[in-house]
Amino acid sequence: MDKVKPVRGRPDVDAAMRGGDWSQAMDGEGIPGNSTLEHALYWQQIYTEILTMEEKVLDRIRQLMNTQSDEARREVELTNVPVVVAQAERFRQRLGYWDTRIAQLNGNSNHKP
């Protein structure tokens, strides 16, 4: 992930974008490389659900932005969009880890959980 560039004068946005750190796992997630197939499938489902949600939210934001004044649209572009994009990217990346782990486990029947 590229280093997050601070948004000048918007510490709230900076903090939110730091939440998009790909290495940041959810509570109880554990390390994909050490997980069982069942565990990996569970986390794949979790990340699929949340990523779907974030993408829907982003669509809704973009849809609502069309009805906003120029000033309000700029504010939304500065605040909501990068935050949701960063979050979605983090979830997409984490989902990728779990997809890879599942493929690995499915391709290796001798794998010990």
CA distances from 50 to 7, 16, 18, 57 (A): 26, 17, 18, 10
Per-state percent for the chain, helix, strand, coil, to nearest 5:
65, 0, 35
Q: Round to whole Å and give the CA distance between 60 and 44.
A: 24
Given the complex with other proteins, which of 21 and 111 has the nearer CB atom?
A: 21
Q: By the criterion CB under 8 A, which residues form the site for other proteins?
A: 9-10, 12, 16, 19, 26-29, 45-47, 49-50, 53-54, 56-57, 60-61, 64-65, 68-69, 71-72, 74-76, 79-80, 83-84, 87, 91
Q: Which is nearer to other proteins, 13 or 110 (CB)?
A: 13
- Cα separation, 60 vs 62, in Å, equals 5
Min dist CB 109 to other proteins, Å, is 28
- Which CB atom, from 30 or from 113, has the smaller least distance to other proteins? 30
Least separation, in Å, of the C-beta of 112 and other proteins?
Answer: 25
